[in-house]
Amino acid sequence: MTEQTQLDVLAIFSHPDDAELTMAGTLIKLKALGHRTGIVDLTRGEMGTRGTPEIRAKEALDAARVMGLDARLNLELPDGHITLNEQSRQSVVRALRKYRPAVLFTSHWDDPHPDHAATARIVREAARLATMRRYDEAAGADAIKMPAIAHAVYSRLILPSFIVDVSEFAEQKMEAIHAHASQFYSPESKEPATRIAEKGFLKQIEDRMRYYGSLIGVEAGEPFYVREALNVDDPVALLTRPMNIYS
């Protein structure tokens, strides 16, 4: 897995397991469709109750292999203190200019975790700044074309703009999540309990996929929100796609 590559799709999230929990199925599907995919983690997850930054770094690479990523990069910003400032914007701009993605995925600004909410704002601003030739010019990287941005939906109050059918990839998604073993339930673990380490948490992730899948008539889905208007070439083709649901 090399980091020196142009990507079609880049997911930027706060912590080493965030992308897996929210959209691993989509990343795996996009890879199967022939797209070059990658993840940028803003922090090492060092504020986490369980595990260590070293353990989490290894787990992130293990998960990357499961997902078939072409690149995974950690920006080592301070966990628990992610803020929209010049350091965070510049770090993300440099990652964007390194990978030059056509499509960006990130968290939603209404996410209840403050790091996640801040990450959404950082990514949106950095994506625009990365298109400005004279921003961070001393770093020597060329400006990029503005990528499309989609936000992974966490809050149930956010109505998704679209849902990706990940039915064929749900099992592989859960395998990628399980690669972050230090963070989730294990009867042998002696570490403190956390919300995501509760016995039923990963079943909730599976139930969530089934719920969003049910909205589009498939077994499993992952929801996303797009703030910008979508350019639809053929609305008839879009609106008549088979969906085994009742209005």
First to last CA, the chain: 44
Mean pLDDT across the chain, nearest whole number? 92
C-alpha–C-alpha distance, residues 26 and 20, integer Å: 10
- Name 134's Cβ contacts closer than 8 Å, sequence gap at least 6: none
In this prediction, residue 184 carries a pLDDT of 79
Per residue in 191-204, pLDDT (tens digit) is 777 777 678 889 99
Report yes or no: 177 and 21 within 8 Å, Cβ to Cβ: yes
Q: Give the number of other Cβ atoms within 10 Å of residue 162's Cβ.
A: 15
**Mind listing the domains of the chain with CATH numbers?**
9-229 (3.40.50.10320)
Give the pLDDT band of residue 244 (cuts 50, 70, 90): low
**pTM summary value:** 0.92
If you average pLDDT over residues 3-15, what whole number do you get?
87
Q: Which two tokens stand for residue 62?
A: 């293990």
pLDDT of amino acid 1: 42
Tell me whether strands 148-152 and 103-106 are parallel, antiparallel or unpaired. Answer: parallel
- In the chain, which ranges are continuous DSSP H helix? 18-32, 53-67, 86-99, 114-129, 170-178, 201-215, 235-239
Which pLDDT score is estimated for 160?
Answer: 96
Q: How many residues are recorded in the chain?
A: 247
Could you tell me which residues come within 8 angstroms of residue 191 by beta carbon, excluding any fewer than 6 positions away? 49, 50, 51, 182, 197
pLDDT tens column, 136-158: 999 999 999 999 999 999 877 89
Lowest mean per-residue pLDDT among 56-70, 131-145, 186-200 = 186-200
pLDDT of 187: 74
